[in-house]
A = this chain, B = another copy of it.
Amino acid sequence: MTEGLRLTLTALPGIPLIQDGSDLVSITWEGLARASISLRDGDVLVFAQKIVSKAEGRRVALSQVTPSPRAMALASYADKDPRFVEVVLRESREVLRVRPGLLVVEHRLGFVCANAGVDRSNVGPHGDEEWVLLLPEDPDGSCERLRSAIQATIGARVGVIINDSHGRAWRNGTVGVAVGVAGLPAVQDMRGHPDLFDYTLQITQIGAADELAAAASLLMGQADEGTPVIHARGFPYPLREGRLPELLRPREFDAFR
């Protein structure tokens, strides 16, 4: 048997519901043990944004939010809850598009997405109160802390991604993308690699962390929180320091704002 290049993603079983203060590192150990996976150098762990945000206490009670006049105006046009829009604006640098049912912004971290990634579904049972969930304060930092804790515990040099589901400008359906990265190339630069026939490649950069985030997202699903941690073995590029900003197009090169 000639084994081909292989990428294996495993949804860690038995991850419990995550709450404010949950220890994601120990929860990950337990999930890896349940799946009989021993971490190796070069493995990557992908965490759903939702559980990182919950563990970091990024819930906001809408009852505590007073919408600004701007939030009220946008909410009226977008047909959304003004308190929700207020939270979105606080998480945003700029509003790019607003249409009925649609609010696309540049998140304060620099990426473009709907609702600044603020999420209403699956935030958890809290009586009658309505809660929303923000992205982690500093997702790259969250990844780095997870990566360091893992390396300190067992010595394996792994990569860590936090992913979320984003819509696209011209395609239906959400796909997983990286919103935080540590320890792997977010973008793999292929510039200067000649192809098989020595024609220098036109496509020069691969969104490697986004491709792995999308693969992990397939296994996470959307309808529940049952599989929010994915182990990946076989990421084909050498690990290195890597950060989310590699994936963010500078404003001056943005042709679609």
- Is A35 among interface residues, defined by CB-CB distance under 8 A? yes
Tell me whether A26 is interfacial, beta carbon within 8 Å.
Answer: no
A240 contacts partner chain B, Cβ-Cβ < 8 Å: no
Given contacts A8-B7, A165-B206, A218-B212, contact A172 B201 (CB under 8 A): no
Contacts of A122 in B (CB 8 A): 195-197, 199
Task: Point out the residue from B194, B203, B217, B247 that lies within 8 Å of A171, measured CB to CB.
Answer: B247
- The reply to whether B173 and A5 contact each other, CB–CB distance below 8 Å, is no
**Residue A129 is within 8 A (CB to CB) of chain B in the complex:** no
A205 near B256 (CB under 8 angstroms)?
no
Q: If A2-B13, A214-B211, A235-B218 touch, does A172 touch B246 (CB 8 Å cutoff)?
A: yes
Residues of B within 8 A of A249 (CB): 168-172
Instruction: Classify chain A's interface size.
Output: 35 or more
The answer to whether B256 touches A202, judged by C-beta atoms less than 8 angstroms apart, is no
Contacts of A193 in B (CB 8 A): 222-223
Is A255 engaged at the interface, CB distance under 8 Å to the other chain?
yes
CB <8 Å contact, B34 and A14 = no
Interface contact B104-A175, CB-CB below 8 Å = no
Q: Is A120 an interface residue (CB 8 A)?
A: yes
CB atoms of A171 and B222 under 8 A apart? no
Contact A200 B34 (CB under 8 A): no
Would you call A10 and B4 a contact (CB within 8 A)?
yes
Closest chain B residue, CB of each to CB of A102: B255
Which residue of chain B has the shortest Cβ distance to A99 in the bound complex? B255
- How far does the Cβ of A209 sit from chain B's closest Cβ, in whole Å? 8
Interface set, chain A 82-136, CB cutoff 8 A to B: 97, 99, 102, 104, 111-112, 119-125
Q: Are B218 and A196 in contact (CB under 8 A)?
A: no
Q: Considering the chains assembled together, what is the distance between the CA atoms of A73 and B218 in angstroms?
A: 43
Q: Which of B31, B202, B211 contacts A176 (CB 8 A)?
A: B211
Is there an interface contact between B172 and A125, defined as CB atoms closer than 8 Å?
A: no
Cα-based distance from A218 to B218 in the complex (angstroms): 14
* Nearest opposing residue in chain B for A210, CB measure: B175
Contacts of A246 in B (CB 8 A): 172-173
CB distance from A74 to the nearest CB of B (A): 14
11 contacts between A and B (CB under 8 A): A102-B255, A111-B170, A121-B199, A124-B197, A165-B206, A171-B249, A173-B246, A174-B203, A174-B206, A190-B223, A219-B234
Further 8 A-B residue pairs, CB within 8 A, beyond A121-B200, A172-B247: A1-B34, A4-B35, A4-B227, A5-B13, A173-B186, A206-B222, A218-B235, A221-B236
